[in-house]
Amino acid sequence: MKLNIVPARTGVQWVQLGIRTFFKQPLALTGLFFMFIAVMTVVSMLPYVGSALVLGLLPAATLGFMAATQETSKGKFPMPWILASALRAGRQESRAILLLGALYAVSFLCIMGVSALVDGGQFARFYLNGGAITREILDQGDFQGAMWLAMGLNLPLSLLFWHAPALVHWHGIPPVKALFFSFIACMRNLGAYLVFGLIWFFAFVFVLVLTISAVTLIASAEAAASAVMPAAMLMMALFFSSLYFTFADSFIATPPEAPHDAIT
């Protein structure tokens, strides 16, 4: 496996491929995404360990959706059990993916712990446990500081895990090496990932603003608030449909006789 360097404009292609692939099987991919969200919601309700388990399952769930996108891009129908691809591929791979999940959960909880040093854990409790948040809390400097610190620390963590599950699944890379290769791939193709991220950010904002404005004009502000969640979920499904293409373009498979963990 070798690293592939792509120009910044490739970020646009990743978005286009994700949208195009999604609309090949919109109902199937939407259903898979809602199934993914439903499972995570149920797991999060488990007392004491729910939030940690959700974090630990994210790498496996993300890989499952990437596998579904790959199937759809080949003209196949993605079946529900494809979401468990990582856990159905054999004991060795399952252990590797679960190890990645454990590393992600521990790392993320450490970030929340660091943010708690700023505001006494208020942001961490809100993020992990949910619940209502008031304007007064949002206006607190400590809360804002904890939020920005957590977001800043989460960025390199996201780069480490961006490709790691896919590298384990499709290239047989050990978990620690997969984390390293994922980070290097993101950094070497930083321009493409910035373009990719910015397009999706502005697309999210545009769709949500358009949804709120249109529903408010037709119905009411209360109806607009209810319409935000379905619109956001649709955008998330589209975003997840494009993740596979960021991986497919960032790495090139080498012949079987070549070392599968080589990277240049």
State residue 157's pLDDT score: 94
b/e for 12-29, b at 16 or more Cβ within 10 A? ebbbebbeebbebbeebb
The average pLDDT across 64-91 equals: 88
Under a CB-based contact definition with an 8 Å cutoff, are residues 82 and 28 in contact? no
Per the prediction, the chain carries an average pLDDT of 87
Helix (H, G, I), strand (E, B) or coil at 2: strand
pLDDT tens across 169-187, in order?
999 899 999 999 999 999 9
Under a CB-based contact definition with an 8 Å cutoff, are residues 27 and 75 in contact? no
Q: With pLDDT > 70 as the criterion, what percentage of the chain qualifies? A: 92
State residue 264's pLDDT score: 40
| pTM given for the model | 0.86
Helix (H, G, I), strand (E, B) or coil at 256: coil
The counts of H helices and E strands in the chain are 12, 2
pLDDT tens across 37-64, in order?
888 888 888 887 888 889 999 999 999 9
CA angle 129-36-27, nearest 5°? 135
Locate 122 and state its tokens: 């208020």
Locate 173 and state its tokens: 């890379």
pLDDT-based confidence at residue 132 (cuts at 50, 70, 90): low
